[in-house]
Amino acid sequence: MNESPNLVPEINSNAKKVDDDSINIQFDPSHSIKQDDKIELNKSKRKINDSINDDNSDSPPSKKKQEVNSIKCEEDKPTTSLPTKKQKQKEMSEKFRYGNFHRYYGNRLKGLQRDPRLDVFNKVWFQRRNVLDIGCNAGYLTLSIAKEFEPAWILGIDIDSHLVGVARANIRHYCEEKEMIGKFPASLALREEEGGPTVKKFPNNVWFRRQNYVCLMDEEIEQAQEEYDIILALSITKWVHLNWGDDGIKRFFLKAFKNLRPGGRLIVEPQGFNTYWKRAKTVDELRETYNKIEFKPEQFKDYLLNEIGFVSFEELGMPQANAKGFERPLQVFRKEVYKGENRKKVKKNS
Ligand SMILES: C[S@@+](CC[C@H](N)C(=O)[O-])C[C@H]1O[C@@H](n2cnc3c(N)ncnc32)[C@H](O)[C@@H]1O
């Protein structure tokens, strides 16, 4: 087995505490008021104080003074035009509504040099196979698989284009010196010159693309091709479920089934329903969707086997985790190894 790559700078082990696959979105109120706004606020306060000091009479505050005082009180309160802590937190929740956290692996791995899930996967399932990693985030797991498990190729997709950019940039951290040309992986140079990968060896076997895997139209699902031997859907079902509801997660599963070749495996790491509310309550649309959910994660297994059409199921050992909430079962669903009328056999356990 190849050595695990060094952790890359984007992994931040100082990141804040988590209790599920989500990052606690913290907001620093000192950043809520922009510097320019602060200057303007101070200027207008000074003006008002000056006008109060001009009035030297002992008499009860004149109407003018009362007005001024009331203005001062308003000024002392945060104005509605400035983002409050709550508003800013709302914005952050909206921004990360897909679980597209930028320090995900820093939180998840908490200083570990290697993702423990790699130890429970069967390398043979991946070797010389085509793999899709849905919701690859910054690409650490995808890259580890590309390097250690030697798939023919692995495509990491994510809905967040920034994360896809980070994942691409991270390829270089997994490269040995000899695989680099200057600062760049040699594979990138080859790709440009030759219009695509020719050698299916790391790092030529790994690709990242921005894509929303959830189909909104039935036609899109119908068009899905049998392309992959392994599809990874790790810690993503909650986000799909909260954003696209029962319908969305069912479509997601159906598309994955259709995208698998005969004998292919879908590996799912579902989050428990008890972790949904923490996120659902922070975004109005997610809360609405949450309230309509009838299809619970504990029903996924039956649905995948009895409605979607997978023929077998196994649960992999529980990977250890340093961070609370990440010790979740990994479930493997297998598509029938026979295909079509010919019932051509696909090599078992391949
Ligand atoms: C919590 S992270 C899990 C990362 C990775 N799968 C793992 O387990 O290490 C979920 C990722 O799924 C992505 N995601 C959510 N909905 C998606 C969708 N519909 N299509 C593609 N990616 C999606 C998010 O952007 C995020 O990076």
Pocket test for ligand 1, best of 94, 159, 212, 249 (most atoms within 8 A of CB): 159
Tokens in use for 17?
Answer: 């505490």
Residue 315 has pLDDT above 70, yes or no: yes
Q: Are residues 47 and 115 in the same domain?
A: no
64 shares a domain with 192: no
DSSP state of 173: G
Residue closest by Cα to atom 11 of ligand 1: 135
In short, whether 271's Cβ falls inside 6 Å of ligand 1 is no
pLDDT at 319: 86
Number of domains in the chain: 2
Q: Are residues 63 and 147 in the same domain?
A: no
pLDDT of residue 10: 40
User: What value does the mean pLDDT take over residues 55-60?
Assistant: 31
CA of 344 to the centre of ligand 1 (A): 35
| Residue nearest to ligand 1 atom 5, measured at CA | 136
DSSP code, position 157: E
Is 29 inside any structural domain? no
For 272-313, the pLDDT digits (tens) are 999 999 999 999 999 999 999 999 999 999 999 999 999 999
Confirm whether 2 is domain-assigned: no
Q: What is the DSSP string of 179-221?
A: GEETTEEHHHHHHHHHTS--S-STTTTEEEEE-----SSHHHH
Residue 90 maps to a domain: no
Give yes or no for residue 104 CB within 6 A of ligand 1: yes
Same domain, 168 and 43: no
Clarify whether residues 181 and 237 are in a common domain.
yes
Which mutation among 23, 239, 243 tests ligand 1's pocket best, with the greatest number of atoms within 8 A of CB?
239
Atom of ligand 1 at shortest distance to CA of 158? 22
pLDDT of residue 187: 54
Kindly tell me if the per-residue pLDDT of 344 is higher than 60. no
In a domain, 229, yes or no: yes
If one counts every other C-beta atom within 10 angstroms of the C-beta of residue 153, the result is: 17
Phi then psi for residue 276, to 5 deg, are -70, -45
Domain end among 16, 49, 82: 82
> Cis link prior to 203 (omega < 30° from 0)?
yes
Angle among Cα 203, 207, 212 to the nearest 5 degrees reads 160
Q: Is the CB of 107 under 6 A from ligand 1?
A: no
Q: For residue 167, how far is its CA from the centre of ligand 1 (angstroms)?
A: 12
Cβ pair 349, 124 in contact under 8 A: yes
Q: What span, in angstroms and rounded, lies between the C-alpha atoms of 290 and 286? A: 6
- Which of 34-43, 212-221, 254-263, 273-282 is least confident? 34-43
Most trustworthy range by pLDDT among 40-49, 168-177, 206-215:
206-215
Domain containing 321 — which CATH number?
3.40.50.150
Higher pLDDT, 24 or 235: 235
- Reported as a pLDDT band with limits 50, 70 and 90, residue 323 is confident
Dig out the tokens for 33 from the structure. Answer: 């008021």
Check whether residue 124 and residue 221 sit in a common domain. yes
Do 141 and 272 sit in the same domain of this protein? yes
What value does the mean pLDDT take over residues 173-188? 67
Note whether 220 and 299 are same-domain residues: yes
Answer yes or no: do 70 and 113 share one domain: no
- For residue 98 and ligand 1, the question of a CB distance below 6 A is answered with yes
pLDDT digits (tens, 9 = 90+) for 93-102: 999 999 999 9
Answer yes or no: do 69 and 155 share one domain. Answer: no
Instruction: Check pocket membership of 160 for ligand 1, CB cut-off 6 A.
Output: yes
User: Does 150 reside within a domain?
Assistant: yes
For residue 266, being part of any structural domain is answered with: yes
The total number of residues shown for the chain amounts to 350
For residue 17, with 0-12 CB atoms within 10 Å meaning exposed, 13-18 middle and 19 or more buried, which class applies? exposed
Average pLDDT over residues 229-233: 98
Give the range of the structural domain holding residue 297, as residue numbers without chain letter.
99-345
Please indicate, yes or no, if residue 3 is contained in any of the structural domains. no
Please indicate, yes or no, whether residues 56 and 116 belong to a single structural domain of this protein: no
Residues 105 and 77 in one domain: no
What is the average per-residue pLDDT within 36-59?
32
- The pLDDT of residue 179 is 65
Provide φ and ψ at 190, rounded to 5°. -60, -45
Q: Is any ligand 1 atom within 6 A of the Cβ of residue 5?
A: no
Question: Does a structural domain hold residue 23?
Answer: no
How far apart CA 255 and CA 223 sit, in angstroms, is: 9
